[in-house]
Amino acid sequence: MPSPLANVTVLDLTQFEAGTSCTQMLAWLGANVIKIEHPKGGDPGRGLGADPNGPDAWYFIILNANKRSVTLNLRDPHGKELFARMVPKADVVVENLGPGSLERLGITWEWLSGLNPAIIFARVKGFGTYGPWSGFPSFDMIAQATGGSMSVTGEADREPLRPGSTIGDTGTGIHAAIGIAAAYIQRLRTGKGQPVEVAMQDAVANFVRVPMTSMYSSGRAVQRRGSAGNRPPNGVYRCKGDGINDYVYIGILGDGQYARLWKTLGRPELAGDPEYQTPRGRAKHAEEIQQLVSGWAAQRTKFEAMEEMGCAGVPASAVYGGEDVFEDQHLRERGSVVDLEHPARGRFSMIGNPLKLADNDTPLRTAPLLGQHNGEVYAELLGMTPAELDRLAAEGVL
């Protein structure tokens, strides 16, 4: 079986994370993603945290797997002309450049659809292309603040905290990939392309919709609670070991899970005690419950605690650090952590495709070097010869 998006060609004008996450997801599903980069430096993400051990930052490498890279100076008239010749060969154009960047180059929906009425033009923007704030720049932390995620993260009575995960960037990119897939399915019926737009603020607000439901009943702002839930013993507990992540998180929903918890803690008699059978009763004994769970967790490693709780049917997890994620045999068996070979940095581990489609056998490939595929892509799409490419490179077009 061919990969799900095997016949889809994507012209990738993205940079940093929000847009690159979108196109990487499409590439993981088999799309022919052609990353178009400026000849001098390429995607700015290539230099974000780069070190002397290789030409590109790890940041770039983990966000651009399965893509091909070509160089093209879109500010040069000859470069824009080449891009115009590529558009009719493509199905999708994706960009997440700063507000107004493509418009200043004359690359608009009207221009693209005039070249290819079936093109899908996907745009990832901090605040979208319309609305009062559409001209404002944005990165992940700005989106997390304006989308509401920061307001619900942190300890009670302390300042809001930015979450460690980059849902403003990668989360928006995945939203955009879904929008592109929907537009492509619609195009199969109508033959027409369309613009697709996802604002980072909009995507983060979507991620926060469940925490925000408390406002419907309370009528006031969502309260920060740190790692603790609103039902004891939900929260984080210290386990054996002195590492910064030697904790287990326990999160319970439903009275039946509490009965299994009491048994796991060695207190099965609590399952028959009316005081421990209702949320109100358990709230009265919150301090006692916390001490009981704390004492139990302190005698076990985080993985022992997770194993024991999980086998008993109690939702719990070791708090994974980065090293735990990359070494986890469960993630590796599922292909969610993979080992790849980079041409300059050698063998390394990275997070793989989280989508598991039975008929998707797209092999994972490492991120490309800048302009690595100039020869094959320009020959494949435009029939250009090595001599032509050399001339254009000398002129600063490629």
Please list the residues that pair with 324 across neighbouring strands: none
Residue 210 and residue 222 in contact, taking contact as beta carbons nearer than 8 Å: no
The whole-angstrom separation of Cα 109 and Cα 104 is: 13
HSE of 251, CA atoms in CB hemisphere, 13 A: 7
String of DSSP letters for 118-168: T-EEEEEESS-SSSTTTTS---HHHHHHHTTTGGG-S-TTS-----SS-II
Residue 248 and residue 316 in contact, taking contact as beta carbons nearer than 8 Å: yes
Q: What are the residues whose beta carbons fall under 8 Å from the beta carbon of 266, sequence distance 6 or more?
A: 296
Residue numbers of the chain with a pLDDT score lower than 70: 50, 52, 229-230
Residue 10 and residue 90 in contact, taking contact as beta carbons nearer than 8 Å: yes
Domain ranges across the chain: 9-207+328-394, 247-318
State how far Cα 117 lies from the chain centre.
30
Which one from 91, 140, 169, 202 is the annotated catalytic residue? 169
Report the pLDDT value the prediction gives residue 1, as an integer from 0 to 100.
Answer: 74
Report the pLDDT value the prediction gives residue 242, as an integer from 0 to 100.
Answer: 94
Q: How many CB atoms lie within 10 A of CB 269?
A: 10
Backbone angles phi, psi at 12, to 5 degrees: -100, 110
Report the pLDDT value the prediction gives residue 230, as an integer from 0 to 100.
Answer: 67
Q: What are the residues whose beta carbons fall under 8 Å from the beta carbon of 82, sequence distance 6 or more?
A: 72, 378, 382, 392, 397
Q: How many CB atoms lie within 10 A of CB 298?
A: 12
Question: Regarding the domain with residue range 247-318, which homologous superfamily does it belong to in the CATH classification?
Answer: formyl-coa transferase, domain 3 (3.30.1540.10)
Spell 114-134 as b/e; 16+ CB within 10 A means b: eebeebbbbbbbbbbeeeeee
Residue 149 and residue 208 in contact, taking contact as beta carbons nearer than 8 Å: yes
Report the pLDDT value the prediction gives residue 279, as an integer from 0 to 100.
Answer: 86
DSSP 8-state symbol, 230: S
pTM of the model: 0.94
CATH label, 9-207+328-394, candidates 3.40.50.720, 3.40.718.10, 3.40.50.10540, 3.40.50.360: 3.40.50.10540
Please list the residues that pair with 93 across neighbouring strands: 11, 121
Residue 127 and residue 133 in contact, taking contact as beta carbons nearer than 8 Å: yes
The whole-angstrom separation of Cα 47 and Cα 61 is: 11
Residue 273 is among the residues annotated as catalytic for this protein = no
For CA atoms 83, 85, 90, 91, the dihedral sign is positive
* Token digits of residue 232: 């004891």
